[in-house]
């Protein structure tokens, strides 16, 4: 198969910067596509601290102190190249201290939009100056939303990009990059007003994601069910008409997981390893987790785990009502790891005070703890209001930790409700977004746990699932190839 040239732009990429699943997915795609022989180039902003993680980083002479004017401000940026670990794919880090040398990857500063406008422009400029004309620019989420528009305006006469197509992947339609219409000046495109959504403009805003969805050659998202939901229901969060106007379906490709990182047979974060034939290591991880989290319940009691951004999307408004009742009624324990909105952290801290020794919470970002919760818990709770894909429920399956999930998005596409009659299924799936449904799901899962042979069957089913990237990445390859064939046809016509 002929190798393709692929640019992947993402605001976060593992192992350099991560706040959520986007980083895992972008990193895995870069590695997997390179391993399949493609010429893959990854792009990310050089946030504070990232340079220390990449010893191979080197300056590019043709991209040192490049000037770029955004509105009334002139910026200088440089581009540093590095080797993506293990694969040799090239990473380009956009170095602009005025914009990226800040305490967090994301900010609520007034120039937040400029941080990603510059990132996008700099990625295109890097390709141009090094003479790299990709078959596909793979853009991810709102941060990269202006790239398709740039390709069709500022860079439309660039011979190098004549056959380059753009793919916009939606990882979460809840984050759209809505900015004041004043940002139009920062985009640097002549005659831009008629190109921007008129309703947004009359509301005084520009929407980066909507612009990407309008101008990208193809749009995808991270599960087939979410692809349908965002076009046809309120989960499109105001983007339904924009998606329908494209006249072709949004493609849903379920995320894979990197089993080099997330497999209990060899997970480097675990003190004890295990596989479906011998679960002694899982029990040992449970004891370690109970000890580390300060939980004093008997290890035979069921332990429910969570690793999650503390955001409304993840179902915390329901959990604020459900968890106190669950701990009061059931002889079980609960452990959560996550950071985000203070109101949810306060709730979890309160839960720990109310149920000492039975509920634990850590508000850090802690990679090792995330792995230990996957390995040491019996069930994993993910009652999301919406979930484009979700990775933790897929990790949970591999660790024999039974996912309790709502029937939405990627949760619906990765977990099948267990039927004790037939012994088929991999988790507990509930439909309605309400407290009764979550209560039911937790109660049902705990009743299965009480029946050891039944639980063992469920654990075996879960651990047998395979969501490796080697399968899913072929779907991206087919999509890129389709686009590059279409480009070949249109440029020879
Ligand atoms: P989302 O991207 O919406 O947050 P996903 O399930 O796709 O949800 O991915 C979340 C990723 O972030 C997982 O790899 C999970 O382990 C990780 N994660 C979330 N919170 C933390 C945390 N506090 N510490 C370590 N890892 C975390
Ligand atoms: C987003 C979504 C999550 C998805 C991840 C990676 O953060 O919320 O469901 O798994 O992106 O695609």
pTM of the model: 0.96
Q: Is 75 helix (H, G, I), strand (E, B) or coil?
A: strand
> What distance in Å separates the CA atoms of residue 22 and residue 303, rounded to the nearest whole number?
28
Query: Could you tell me what percent of the chain has a pLDDT over 70?
Result: 99
In a domain, 59, yes or no: yes
User: CATH code at 354?
Assistant: 3.40.50.2000
Same domain, 436 and 488: no
- Residues of the chain with pLDDT > 90, as a percent, come to 93
What local confidence, expressed as pLDDT, does residue 470 receive?
85
- Range(s) of the domain holding residue 315: 280-466
Distance in Å, CA 20 to ligand 1 centroid = 4
Q: Give the mean model confidence (pLDDT) for residues 31-56.
A: 92
The answer on 488 and 454 residing in a single domain is no
Over residues 115-165, the pLDDT tens digits come to 999 999 999 999 999 999 999 999 999 999 999 999 999 999 999 999 999
14 within some domain: yes
Q: Give the Å distance between the CA of 134 and the centre of ligand 2.
A: 25
The verdict on residue 271 lying in a domain is no
At residue 359, φ and ψ (nearest 5 deg) are -130, 140
pLDDT band at 493 (very low <50, low <70, confident <90, very high): low
Number of structural domains in the chain? 2
Closest CA to 149 of 223, 87, 212: 212
Does 193 share its domain with 320? no
DSSP 77-125: EEEEEEE-TTT--EEEEEE-HHHH-SSSSS---TTHHHHHHHHHHHHHH
Q: Which atom of ligand 2 is nearest to the CA of 391?
A: 10
**Residue 274 domain flag:** no
Whether 261 is in a domain gets the answer no
Closest Cα to atom 10 of ligand 2: 390
User: Is the distance from the beta carbon of residue 368 to the nearest atom of ligand 1 less than 6 Å?
Assistant: no
Distance CA 94, CA 96 (A): 6
Query: Rounded to an integer, what distance in angstroms lies between the CA atom of residue 315 and that of residue 310?
Result: 9
306 with 349, same domain? yes
Determine the distance from the C-alpha atom of residue 333 to the mean position of all C-alpha atoms in its chain, rounded to a whole number: 28
Do residues 122 and 237 both lie within one domain?
Answer: yes
Q: Are strands 39-45 and 90-95 parallel, antiparallel or unpaired?
A: parallel
Q: Judge whether 153 and 195 are in contact, CB under 8 Å.
A: yes
| Contact residues for 426 (Cβ-Cβ < 8 A; gap 6+) | 397, 402, 403, 415, 416, 418, 458, 461, 462, 465
Same domain? For 454 and 480 the reply is: no
Ligand 2 lining (C-beta closer than 6 Å): 20-22, 25, 171-172, 222, 255, 387-391, 410
* Averaged confidence pLDDT in the chain: 96
Residues 6 or more apart in contact with residue 179 via CB below 8 angstroms: 112, 113, 205, 206, 207, 208
Structure confidence by residue, pLDDT tens digits, 463-484: 999 999 988 899 999 999 887 7
pLDDT per residue as tens digits for the range 392-444: 999 999 999 999 999 999 999 999 999 999 999 999 999 999 999 999 999 99
453 and 477 inside one domain: no
Inside any domain, residue 79: yes
| CA-based nearest residue to 381, from 389, 362, 373 | 373
Domain match, 317 and 453 both: yes
Do 237 and 288 lie in one domain? The reply is no
How many CA atoms are closer than 13 Å to the CA of 79, on its beta-carbon side? 27
Q: Is residue 273 part of a domain?
A: no
- The pLDDT of 364-371, averaged and rounded, is 96
Tell me the mean pLDDT in the region 219-230. Answer: 98
User: Ligand 2, closest atom to CA 384?
Assistant: 9
Do 429 and 303 fall within a single domain? yes
Task: Tell me whether residue 297 is in a domain.
Answer: yes
Q: Which of 11, 171, 31, 172 is nearest to 468 (CA)?
A: 31
Same domain, 315 and 221: no
Strands (E), 141-180: 165-170, 178-180
* DSSP-based three-state secondary structure for 165: strand
Element (H, E) at 66: strand 66-70
Say if residue 186 is in the same domain as residue 39. Answer: yes
Name the residue of 140, 316, 370 whose CB sits within 8 Å of the most ligand 1 atoms, as the mutation to test its pocket. 370
């Amino acid at each position: 198969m002929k190798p393709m040239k692929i640019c992947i732009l993402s605001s976060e990429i593992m192992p350099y910067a991560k706040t959520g699943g986007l980083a895992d997915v972008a990193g895995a795609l870069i590695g997997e596509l390179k391993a399949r022989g493609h010429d893959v180039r990854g792009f990310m902003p050089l946030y504070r601290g990232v340079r220390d993680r990449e010893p191979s980083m080197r300056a590019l002479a043709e991209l040192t102190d490049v000037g770029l004017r955004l509105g009334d401000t002139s910026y200088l940026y440089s581009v540093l190249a590095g080797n993506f670990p293990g694969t040799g794919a090239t990473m380009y880090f956009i170095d602009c201290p005025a914009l990226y040398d800040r305490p967090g990857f994301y900010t609520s500063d007034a120039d937040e939009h400029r941080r990603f406008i510059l990132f996008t422009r700099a990625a295109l400029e890097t390709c141009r100056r090094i003479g790299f004309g990709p078959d596909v620019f793979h853009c991810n989420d709102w941060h990269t939303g202006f790239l398709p528009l740039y390709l069709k305006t500022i860079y439309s006469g660039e011979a190098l990009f004549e056959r380059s197509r753009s793919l916009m992947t939606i990882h979460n339609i809840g984050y759209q990059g809505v900015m004041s219409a004043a940002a139009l000046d920062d985009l640097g495109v002549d005659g831009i007003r008629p190109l921007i959504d008129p309703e947004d403009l009359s509301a005084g805003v520009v929407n980066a994601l909507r612009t990407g969805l309008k101008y990208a050659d193809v749009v995808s998202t991270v599960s087939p069910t979410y692809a349908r939901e965002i076009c046809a229901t309120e989960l499109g969060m105001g983007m339904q008409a924009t998606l329908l106007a494209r006249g072709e379906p949004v493609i849903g490709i379920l995320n894979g997981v990197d089993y080099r990182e997330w497999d209990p047979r060899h997970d480097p974060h675990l003190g004890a390893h295990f596989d479906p034939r011998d679960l002694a290591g899982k029990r040992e991880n449970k004891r370690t987790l109970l000890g580390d989290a300060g939980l004093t319940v008997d290890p035979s009691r069921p332990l429910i785990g969570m690793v999650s951004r503390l955001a409304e999307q993840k179902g915390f408004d329901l959990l604020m009502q459900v968890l106190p009742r669950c701990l009061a009624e059931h002889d079980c324990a609960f452990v959560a790891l996550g950071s985000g909105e203070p109101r949810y952290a306060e709730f979890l801290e309160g839960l720990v005070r109310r149920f000492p020794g039975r509920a634990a919470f850590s508000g850090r970002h802690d990679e090792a703890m995330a792995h230990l919760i996957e390995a040491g818990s019996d069930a994993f709770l993910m009652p999301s209001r919406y979930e484009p894909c979700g990775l933790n429920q897929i990790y949970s399956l591999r660790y024999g930790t039974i996912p309790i999930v709502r029937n939405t998005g990627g949760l619906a596409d990765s977990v099948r409700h267990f039927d004790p009659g037939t012994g088929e299924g991999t988790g507990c799936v509930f439909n309605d977004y309400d407290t009764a449904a979550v209560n039911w799901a937790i109660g049902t899962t705990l009743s299965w746990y009480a029946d050891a042979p039944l639980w063992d069957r469920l654990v075996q089913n879960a651990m047998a699932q395979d969501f490796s990237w080697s399968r899913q990445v072929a779907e991206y390859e087919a999509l890129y190839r389709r686009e590059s064939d279409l480009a070949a046809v249109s440029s020879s016509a």
